[in-house]
Structure 1
Amino acid sequence: MDHETSPRILVVRPDRIGDVVLSLPVLDALRHRWPKAYLAMLARPYTRDVLERNPCLDAVFDDDPESLHRGPAGFFRQVRRLRAQAFDTALVLMPTMRHVWMISLAGIPRRISVGRKVYHALTRTRSLSRHRYIPLRHESDFCLDLARVIDAREPGNGPLIDLKEEERQGARAVLAKTQGQPVIGIHPGNGRNAPNWTVERYAQLARTLQDRHSAKIVVTGSAEEGHLAEAIVSRLDGPARSLAGRLTLGKLIAVIGELDLLVSSSTGPMHLAGALGVPTVSVFCPLPARSPERWRPLGGRDRNLLPPEGQCPTCDRGPFCDLSGITVDMVGEAVGEQLVRE
Structure 2
Amino acid sequence: MSKTINLNNKTVVISRTDSIGDVVLTLPMCAWLKQQFPECKIVFLGQSYTRPVLESAPFIDEILEWNKIEALPVQSRVEELKKLEANVFIHVFPNKEIAKLAKKAKIPFRIGTSHRSYHFLSCNIKPNFTRRKSEFHEAQLNFELLRSYGIKELPSLKELSALMADFHPKGTLPQDIQRSIEGLNLEQGKKKVILHARSQGSAVEWDIEKFSRLAKLLADNGHAVFYTGTNEEGVNIRGSIPTAQNVFDVTGKLTLAELQSFILQMDTLVACSTGPLHLAGILGIEAIGLFSPRRPIHPGRWMPLGEATKVIVHDEDCELCAKGEDCDCITKITAEKVYDTITSNIEELA
TM-score (norm 2): 0.87
Q: Does the CA contact (< 8 Å) of 1:30 and 1:152 recur in 2?
A: no
For 2:336 and 2:167, the matched residues in 1 are separated by 32
- Decide whether aligned partners of structure 1 residues 249 and 124 sit closer, same or farther in structure 2, where only a CA change above 3 A counts: closer
Query: What residue is the counterpart of 1:326 in the other structure?
Result: 333
- SS at the partner of 1:304? strand
Q: 2:277 aligns with which of 259, 270, 278?
A: 270
The superposition leaves residues 161-181 of structure 1 with CA deviations (integer Å, 9 ceiling, x where unpaired) of 2134x7379674453354644
Alignment of 1:258-297 (within 5 A): 258-297=265-304
For 1:197 and 1:151, the matched residues in 2 are separated by 41
- Decide whether aligned partners of structure 1 residues 332 and 265 sit closer, same or farther in structure 2, where only a CA change above 3 A counts: same
Query: What residue is the counterpart of 2:199 in the other structure?
Result: 190
The share of aligned pairs that are identical, in percent, is 25
Moved over 6 A (4+): 153-156, 168-171
Q: Does the CA contact (< 8 Å) of 1:54 and 1:159 recur in 2?
A: no
- Decide whether aligned partners of structure 1 residues 152 and 60 sit closer, same or farther in structure 2, where only a CA change above 3 A counts: farther
For 1:245 and 1:312, the matched residues in 2 are separated by 38
Query: What residue is the counterpart of 2:3 in the other structure?
Result: none
Query: What residue is the counterpart of 1:162 in the other structure?
Result: 168
Residue 24 of structure 1: how far off its partner (Å): 0.5
- Decide whether aligned partners of structure 1 residues 303 and 309 sit closer, same or farther in structure 2, where only a CA change above 3 A counts: closer
Residues 1:311 and 2:350 aligned together: no
Which segment is superposed worse, 268-277 or 180-189?
A: 180-189
For 1:296 and 1:187, the matched residues in 2 are separated by 15
- SS at the partner of 1:161? coil
- SS at the partner of 2:168? coil
Q: Does the CA contact (< 8 Å) of 2:314 and 2:329 recur in 1?
A: no
Alignment of 1:101-250 (within 5 A): 101-131=100-130, 133-151=132-150, 157-159=163-165, 161-164=167-170, 167=172, 172-173=178-179, 175-176=181-182, 177-178=184-185, 180=188, 181-212=190-221, 214-233=222-241, 235-250=242-257
Question: Unmatched 5+ residue regions in structure 2?
Answer: 1-5
Q: Does the CA contact (< 8 Å) of 2:115 and 2:129 recur in 1?
A: no
Q: Does the CA contact (< 8 Å) of 1:89 and 1:110 recur in 2?
A: yes
Q: How many residues align?
A: 333
Q: Does the CA contact (< 8 Å) of 1:188 and 1:202 recur in 2?
A: yes
Question: Unmatched 5+ residue regions in structure 1?
Answer: none
Give, as a single letter, the amino acid of the residue that structure 2 aligns with 1:119. Answer: Y
- Decide whether aligned partners of structure 1 residues 243 and 84 sit closer, same or farther in structure 2, where only a CA change above 3 A counts: same
Query: What residue is the counterpart of 2:26 in the other structure?
Result: 23
Residue 254 of structure 1: how far off its partner (Å): 0.9
For 2:239 and 2:314, the matched residues in 1 are separated by 25
- Decide whether aligned partners of structure 1 residues 98 and 311 sit closer, same or farther in structure 2, where only a CA change above 3 A counts: farther
